[in-house]
Amino acid sequence: MFLSMNWISDFVDLTGLDKMELIRKFSLSTAEVENEIFFKGSDFSGIVVAEIKSVEDHPKSEKLHLLKVDIGEAELVDVVCGAPNVRVGMKTAFAKVGAKIGEIEIAPRPLAGFMSNGMCCSEKEIGISDDNSGIMDITDDVVNGTDLKDIYEIDDIVFEVDNKSLTNRPDLWGHYGIAREFASLAGRELKPLPQVDLSQYNNLPKVDLKIEDDLCQRYSCLQVENITKNVSPVNMRIRLYYCGMRGINLLADLTNYLMLEMGQPMHAFDSRKVEKIRIKCFAEPFTFQTLDGVDRNIDENTLMICNDNTPVAIAGIMGGLDSEIVEDTTTLTLESATFNAASIRKSTVRLGHRTDASNRYEKCLDPEMTVPAIARFVNLLVSIDPDAKVVSALTDEYAYKYPKVTLDFDKAFIDKYTGIEIANDTIVNTLNSLGFKASNDGDNFTVEVPSWRATKDVTIKADIVEEITRIYGYDNFDIHTAAAPLYPVRAKAEKTVEDRIKDILVHRYSLHELHSYVWQYYDEYKALGMDIEENIKLQGATNPNIETIRKSIIPTQLCQVKTNTNFSTDFGVFEIGRTVDGLKSDGLCNERKKLCVTLYSKTKSLESLYVELATMLSVISDNIKHKALNFTPMEATLSYEHPRNLNAISCDGVVLGKIGVVHPTVAKKIDKKASIVFAEIDVPMLTEVADAGIHYEEPSKFPNMEIDLSFMSETFAPIGKAIKDANCELIKNVQVVDTYRDENGKSITVRLTFSNPQKTLTTEEVMEVANGIIEALAKENIALKS
């Protein structure tokens, strides 16, 4: 919203004060002011009123005219002018010789063979409107040669406030409310708003009005006729233009002006079209043409202003084309109303159409404002067009009022909240300067909240703290630390696990951490031949791409791998992210935090990459939990899982996740030549595994003994099991030192390291253990290699 310092100054005398400093204070105490501040009128000087005394056609040009203009000097001035609207007797804006417009200084210059000693200006050229159709037509009775800036409010400081910073302040959607803030910040009085006394019309007939839906809070209206003027005063048009609107005609300009001044949207109907004003919703949807000529779909929740049963306006949003003021309108009905804020907002969302009026209504406007707005409107109207005549009594239906808000608090409360000392007088004066009615009896305060702050904005004591402190100024706060006692902070187990996983994968394995989205990207999954897993969906999702929440990070990560195949011949990525594994019994999502790792290689075999990944996970488990992982083959069920190479990962008998080779169909779509493997682990479940910790054992003084055993086996698992089952305390380490495949099959050589802390080991006792293992494996048909 653009704000004019001239307009603000109508209501508070700011003479002698640094306006820029006031704007800065306003930004820090009330609402954020955008950086760019506009110094209107500062870019030109020397523009005066000139009267055209004669107009001659240019002998060689169709467009140009030769003028003699009176600029209040002894001699008339010769000017060549190309504007189509020149006429004798017309007064216009004239840049005389020596005048400056932007960087240009006006000097006498020949134009198509004739000297031109100055320039007639359009309104656009002097920046007071966007009208460039001809030179400015000054209809006011002004003396020739007067500097334009002396008669019109061209010089102004205009600043912009971000609408978002006004969402909770319905009172700041007009200049009067803004002026109240400036008055408080400047320590000056706020002047009353000029109004007419509406009670003088009480004897006139009332408008036929009835609120039939409680979405309308208050509806005030008044009928006026005999408006003879069509064009608004220049100053009014300048203000509207500076504040981002355009002059249209007197009536439209007045309603806009009122809205920008008081924040109260108003609407003028042709009275013939609103003989019986009814405010209601319709049970059946229909289309309605608004005054911008657009047909809009109205549903049963949209509040309408009607003439009996004929809708004439969408309440609070926009009038209808049919009820607009037209050429032959004689009587008009002024609407000044308040509607349910949430309903207006929802209607704008449904209609996909927001207006300056709806923007304000959404903020919970003060219903007390509807009548003063009419009184101010009439005051402005008759000052501009004295012939205008009020022809009805004020008609006002006030369906319901907001409760009066009165708050009591004591000094201790303010002290506790602020942490600084603010004097009792300062508290009372600050609140009163903002229109609150504050008083105190010693340290006890009572505050009555003004209606324009009581619609939802100020309801509790903490709100009062804000009023006091923002005007006091946060820059003026003495700041200090809290007196709170200190307690040790324990790291959360899961957080520690997460951090350590990341450190291991990044530092030890040079993996890259990625982030991704929580939904299953339909298009990307399809491109890789992966199915969308059935899971909870977003409500009313319109984009199937992000419709279904993911069950696993693996497919997401495979999509990411696909986009990185040019990055390097070998890389690995991981993410600790969230998935949803259906719903829990209470109907809430079973959200899981998962670690997902994918390795990609163009140089390694699938098997070695798969083993590498299993090793990584084992290292994580060993580092964090000092425990080994078990890998058990499991059945593939998902489109990206390899039917033969998928293992469940478990620790302490709890399944933590899975590790697998990517299904060749999917793998080929990612990269025809690369090996790709994945694993996913549930982080909270890993966290819950008890840490076996470090078990210190005094090193044996006696030498270790190692024996190598080679078995004919496809997998290590049974060998490992046999060794474990031997349950021999002397075995300190088991290592696979070689695997070999020949025509007889695959052999695995394990090295067992024995150690006894008490005495020197004998070959006999070691061999006894080894033989036990060999026998156990023989029963499983796993033979010692011959």
Q: Looking only at residues 557 through 586 of this chain, which bind other proteins when binding is defined by CB under 8 A?
A: 559-560, 563-564, 567-568, 571-573, 575, 578, 580, 583
Instruction: Provide the minimum distance between the beta carbon of 401 and other proteins in the complex, in angstroms, as a whole number.
Output: 20
Burial of 381 (0-12, 13-18, 19+ CB in 10 A): buried
CB of 169 vs other proteins, minimal distance in Å: 8
What is the Cα–Cα distance from 534 to 473, expressed in whole angstroms? 55
Q: How far is the CB of 464 from other proteins (least distance, A)?
A: 10
Return the closest-CA partner of residue 271 out of 224, 315, 230. 224
Residue 588 contacts other proteins per CB under 8 A: yes
Applying CB under 8 A, among 89, 102, 442, 540 the residue interacting with other proteins is 540
Q: Which stretch in 89-97, 264-272, 473-481, 631-639 sits in contact with other proteins by CB under 8 A?
A: 473-481
Segment interacting with other proteins, rule: CB under 8 A, options 6-14, 94-102, 512-520, 611-619: 512-520
Q: How far is the CB of 541 from other proteins (least distance, A)?
A: 9
**Which amino acid, residue 609?**
L
480 binds other proteins (CB under 8 A): yes
Angle ∠(763,768,772) on CA atoms, nearest 5: 145
Q: Is 511 in the site for other proteins (CB under 8 A)?
A: yes
115, 538, 717, 767: which one binds other proteins (CB under 8 A): 538
Q: Which is nearer to other proteins, 543 or 786 (CB)?
A: 543
When binding is defined by CB under 8 A, the residue of 283, 423, 486, 694 that contacts other proteins is: 486
Q: What angle do CA 603, 608, 609 make, to 5 degrees?
A: 70
For CA atoms 340, 341, 346, 350, the dihedral sign is positive
Q: Let me know: does 289 contact 295? Beta carbons within 8 Å.
A: yes
Contact between 475 and other proteins by CB under 8 A: the answer reads yes
Q: 369-428: which residues touch other proteins (CB under 8 A)?
A: 416-420
Q: Whole-number minimum distance, CB 452 to other proteins, in Å? A: 16
185 interacts with other proteins by CB under 8 A: no
Residue of the chain from 354, 470, 668, 669 that contacts other proteins (CB under 8 A) = 470
Per CB under 8 A, the segment of 25-33, 306-314, 365-373, 664-672 that binds other proteins is 25-33
As measured in angstroms, the least distance from the Cβ of 653 to other proteins is 26
What's the sign of the alpha-carbon dihedral 564, 565, 569, 574?
Answer: positive
Q: How far is the CB of 736 from other proteins (least distance, A)?
A: 27
Residue of 97, 252, 321, 518 that binds other proteins (CB under 8 A): 518
The residues with which 445 forms a beta bridge, in sequence order, are 409, 440
Angle value at C-alpha 644, between 639 and 649, nearest 5 degrees = 85
**Shortest Å, Cβ 28 to other proteins:** 5
Kindly tell me which of 240 and 683 has the beta carbon lying closer to other proteins. Answer: 683
Residue type present at position 756: N
With respect to other proteins, which residue has the nearer C-beta, 461 or 785?
A: 461
Based on CB atoms, which residue is closest to other proteins, 403 or 485? Answer: 485
Identify whether the C-beta of residue 455 lies closer than 8 Å to the C-beta of residue 169.
no
Strand partners, 63: none
Q: Does 612 bind other proteins (CB under 8 A)?
A: no
Measured in whole angstroms, the distance separating CA 361 from the mean position of its chain's CA atoms is: 20
* 190 SS3 class: coil
Residue whose CB is less far from other proteins, 169 or 625: 169
The β-bridge relationship of strands 114-116 and 91-101 is unpaired
By the rule CB under 8 A, 512 interacts with other proteins: yes
Of 57, 513, 729, 768, the residue at the interface with other proteins (CB under 8 A) is 513
For the CB of residue 30, give the shortest distance to other proteins in the complex, in Å: 7
| Dihedral, CA of residue 272, residue 277, residue 283 and residue 285, to nearest 10 | 40
CA angle 88/92/97 to nearest 5° reads 105
* Member of 481, 727, 758, 781 binding other proteins (CB under 8 A): 481
Strands 589-601 and 318-319: unpaired
For 438-486, the DSSP string reads: EEEETTEEEEEPPGGGTTTT--SHHHHHHHHHHHH-GGG-------PPP
Sequence-separated (6 or more) residues with CB below 8 Å from residue 665: 529, 639
Task: Report if residue 345 touches other proteins, rule: CB under 8 A.
Answer: yes
492 scored as a contact of other proteins (CB under 8 A):
yes
Contact predicate 744/710, CB 8 Å: no
DSSP designation for 263: S
Q: Does 460 bind other proteins (CB under 8 A)?
A: yes
Burial tier of 486 (Cβ tally within 10 Å: 0-12, 13-18, 19+): exposed
- Stretch 147-166: interaction string toward other proteins, x if CB under 8 A: ------------------x-
Which C-beta is closer to other proteins: that of 436 or that of 754? 436
Q: Which is nearer to other proteins, 307 or 469 (CB)?
A: 469
Cβ closest to other proteins, residue 25 vs residue 91: 25
295 DSSP β-pair partners: 289
Residue in 591, 708, 714, 738 binding other proteins, rule: CB under 8 A: 591
Count of residues making up the chain: 786
Q: Residue 269: which of 237, 215, 307, 213 has the closest Cα?
A: 307
Q: How far is the CB of 692 from other proteins (least distance, A)?
A: 25
Burial bucket for residue 476 (CB in 10 Å: 0-12, 13-18, 19+): exposed
Helix ranges, 137-272 (H):
148-151, 175-186, 234-242, 250-262
Site for other proteins (CB under 8 A): which residue of 168, 195, 645, 749? 168
What six digits make up the tokens of 36? 């760019």
Residue 180 CB, shortest distance to other proteins, in Å, is: 15
| Strands of the 705-712 sheet, one edge to the other | 705-712, 745-754, 731-742
Binding mask 696-725 for other proteins (x = CB under 8 A): ------------------------------
Residues 197-226 that bind other proteins (CB under 8 A): none
Output the smallest distance, CB 465 to other proteins, in A: 6
Chosen residue from 491, 637, 672, 779 binding other proteins by CB under 8 A: 491
* Residue 485 makes contact with other proteins by CB under 8 A: yes
CA distance 482 to 615: 49
- As measured in angstroms, the least distance from the Cβ of 19 to other proteins is 18
Nearer to other proteins, 62 or 478 (CB): 478
By CB under 8 A, the residues from 70 to 99 that bind other proteins are none
Please list every residue from 304 through 343 that binds other proteins, using CB under 8 A. 341-342
Report, in Å, the least distance between residue 596 CB and other proteins: 12
Nearest to 557 by CA among 595, 598, 497: 598
Between residues 105 and 591, which has the closer beta carbon with respect to other proteins?
591
Among 286, 474, 702, 740, binds other proteins (CB under 8 A): 474
Measured CA to CA in angstroms, residue 122 lies from 91, 99, 131, 167, 616 at distances of 12, 15, 7, 38, 77
Of 276, 495, 746, 759, which one interacts with other proteins (CB under 8 A)? Answer: 495
Number of residues in contact with other proteins, rule: CB under 8 A?
A: 86
39 touches other proteins (CB under 8 A): no
Minimum separation from the CB atom of position 409 to other proteins (A): 11
- Nearest distance from residue 442's CB to other proteins, in Å? 20
What's the CA gap between 231 and 372, in Å, rounded? 24
Cβ at position 762, least distance to other proteins in Å: 36
